[in-house]
A and B are shown apart, each in its own frame.
With several copies, the nearest count.
Chain A
Amino acid sequence: MLPKPDEVQIVIHDQPISGVLQLDDWLRSQMDAATAIFMGRVRDVAMDGRPLEALELSHYPGLCERLIEASARQLLQHHGCRCAFVLHRVGRLLPGELIVLVAVSADRRGPAQRCCAALLEALKHDAPFWKREWSNGVGTWLSENTPL
């Protein structure tokens, strides 16, 4: 059974956001027994160990949302889950700010946890987002993601 259209919610946000109010709204929109959530925040060190001033995130609007939605629907179906919520920041982010929130609901905890982890990997590898680290006023585009 394919998830219905409103079972995948995607928000790309360009301002600082804790994500918690959005998560609360989404949780109230469904009543599934099990919800697995991941929240990623900006580190205070760059990949090379230097202090990080800011993280710049850009994306390809339109294609980005479409690819996330396709991944989410495929993964919900594969894992037997019901609803997915993706909140992703773009713009200039300071250390400690939320970058990404992924939430997946299901009737059982195992599928919810596995699908949430898989959707996070899909966001990292299959969605057109790009990160640039800023240290000492110099910006460096990342060539790969942090390891699992």
Chain B
Amino acid sequence: MNQSQSDAPPSVKVLLFASLRDQAGWSERCIALNAPAVQTAREIWDQLELGDLPQVVLVAINQDIVSADHPLQAGDELAFLPPFTGG
């Protein structure tokens, strides 16, 4: 998924869900990476200007639950997930 060879600027797709979506006013956004520096999920969150990343919010990269300090690659799908309330 590393697109650094392509013409498009390196970026990640950010997904918000449920209350985070309402808070931000959007559900999906393309966020540019500051290549060549490696950025973490938490650093991307901080760019969103939604306050501190709540401890209860889970992070998924490419549909795997990971730590908020997981590094991102261009083309990744990064999702921020409020506490689950299904079932």
Known: A130-B17, A141-B19. A62 touches B85 (CB 8 A): no
Interface 1/0s, chain A 10-51, versus B by CB < 8 A? 000000000000000000000000000000100000000000
Supply 18 A–B pairs (Cβ within 8 Å), ascending by A: A60-B15, A60-B79, A63-B79, A66-B63, A100-B87, A120-B87, A124-B86, A125-B84, A127-B87, A129-B86, A129-B87, A130-B84, A141-B18, A141-B19, A143-B83, A143-B85, A144-B83, A145-B85
Q: Which residues of A contact B19 (CB under 8 A)?
A: 130, 141
Q: Which residues of A contact B75 (CB under 8 A)?
A: none
Interface 1/0s, chain B 66-87, versus A by CB < 8 A? 0000000000000101111111
Which residues of chain A from 91 to 148 have any CB-CB distance to chain B below 8 Å in the complex?
99-100, 120-121, 123-132, 141-145
B60 at interface by CB-CB < 8 Å: yes
B interface residues, tally (CB under 8 Å): 16
A interface residues, tally (CB under 8 Å): 29
Cβ-defined contact, A128 with B87, below 8 A: no
Interfacial residues, chain A to chain B (CB-CB below 8 A) = 40, 57-60, 62-63, 66-67, 88, 99-100, 120-121, 123-132, 141-145
- How distant is A44 from chain B, measured CB to nearest CB, in Å? 18
Closest to B79 in A: A60
Q: Which residues of B contact A67 (CB under 8 A)?
A: 65
Interface 1/0s, chain B 1-39, versus A by CB < 8 A? 000000000000001011100100000000000000000
